[in-house]
Amino acid sequence: MNKIAFFDAKDYDMASFKNANKDERFEIKFYETKLSIDTVNLANGYDCVCIFVNDNVDKEVIDALSAAGVKLIALRCAGYNNVDIEHAFGKIHVVRVPAYSPYAVAEHAMALLLTSIRRIHKAYIRTRDHNFSLSGLTGFDLHGKTVGVVGTGKIGRIFAGICKGFGMNVLAYDKFPAKDSDLTYVTLDEIWERSDVISFHCPLTDETKHMVNKESIAKMKKGVVLVNTSRGALIDSEALLEGIKDRQIGAACLDVYEEESDVFFHDFSGHIINDDILARLISMPNVIVTSHQAFLTNEALSNIADTTLSNIAQFEKEGRCDNELCYKCEKFGGCPQEHKGKCF
């Protein structure tokens, strides 16, 4: 299990993984290309593939990896909607990094929110041109406002704590409420109807895909601010664009986008973006887009590298991993083995 094909590699990935692999226990081949059916042959001769959020690991890719003798898919992220884990069952094991730095993502969500409502980005551009006018820069206080937090895992709970520090009223929604928390849980409709700000911190599933759509936007407060640092497809982009144009949505802070895979992490300056919806969203004065940057801190990168290599090492040594993904856990609400043995 010491030969790893590493896909969608960036400079910061290579630096953090080389540092975590100082003892050169693992032989890592870094590929800049994403994993897909067109590139899967690059994994021939490797024990493990290491992937990120925009690699496409569908049925065809899984079958090709399995046929090539790859025994493990190691996600260097928490989300896994890009992997068909049900099809992988019985063929190839899948592990992930469930938490790397929840503070990084939660803090980025708040940074986006503050930048948007206090017009920091606009002020920065103005003063660079020696324009010190305050016209059009009026924002609003967060203190006393109501924030709806959708998803209360580690990141959601940390973001809720940050919001409380600003004196905000916090409402929460989660299909599985956090035990022993001091959060006020309400229905999703109440989140839509009562929140001045809504921030998303939940995984992408069939149930959560396009949870923000034409119907849910209509239920929201006029002028609501949406913050998404989770998964792009939680929000129907066309409905979001219409909601902004209708002045129903006051602002959108997006670190993710549902069609980001062909755009994010690449430099398209000087090029025309073919995605008309993304281009129109970016052109809106009340929309801020960062390119899946929320995780990008030194601490998070170090944790991702350490945990990913630890996952691979544990699987190599014990034939199992505490952070293994199994579709039975997802589909049936828990694995009877409690990850004490192989999932298959």
pLDDT digits (tens, 9 = 90+) for 15-36: 999 999 999 999 999 999 999 9
Quick check: is 19 in a domain? yes
Q: Confirm whether 198 is domain-assigned.
A: yes
Q: Helix crossing, 154-165 with 102-117: angle to 10°?
A: 40
292 an active-site residue? yes
pTM, whole model, 2 decimals?
A: 0.88
CB 304 within 8 A of CB 51: no
201, 231, 258, 324: which is the annotated catalytic residue? 231
User: 119 and 261 share a domain?
Assistant: yes
pLDDT at 54 over 80: yes
Give me the half-sphere count of Cα atoms (radius 13 Å) on the Cβ side of residue 253: 26
Catalytic residue among 96, 108, 157, 292: 292
Backbone angles phi, psi at 88, to 5 degrees: -70, -25
**86-132: per-residue pLDDT in tens?**
999 999 999 999 888 899 999 999 999 999 999 999 999 999 999 99
Is 340 a member of any domain? no
- Cα separation, 113 vs 332, in Å, equals 36
The pLDDT of residue 229 is above 90: yes
260 within domain boundaries = yes
From the list 76, 107, 201, 260, the catalytic residue is: 260
| CATH number of domain containing 26 | 3.40.50.720
Structural domain span for residue 84: 3-100+297-332
Domain's final residue, options 255, 273, 289: 289
List of residues 6+ apart from 167 with CB closer than 8 A:
142, 143, 144
Looking at residue 58, its pLDDT comes to 97
Quick one: pLDDT at residue 342?
Answer: 66
The encoded tokens of residue 178 equal 């956090």
Whether residues 16 and 122 fall in one domain: no
pLDDT at 343 over 80: no
Distance CA 50, CA 36 (A): 13
Whether residue 260 lies in the annotated active site: yes
Over residues 179-228, the pLDDT tens digits come to: 889 999 999 999 999 999 999 999 999 999 999 999 999 999 999 999 99
Residues 139 and 56 in one domain: no
Q: Is 280 a catalytic residue?
A: no
The predicted-structure confidence for 276-310, as pLDDT tens digits, reads as follows: 999 999 999 999 999 999 999 999 999 999 999 99
In a domain, 271, yes or no: yes
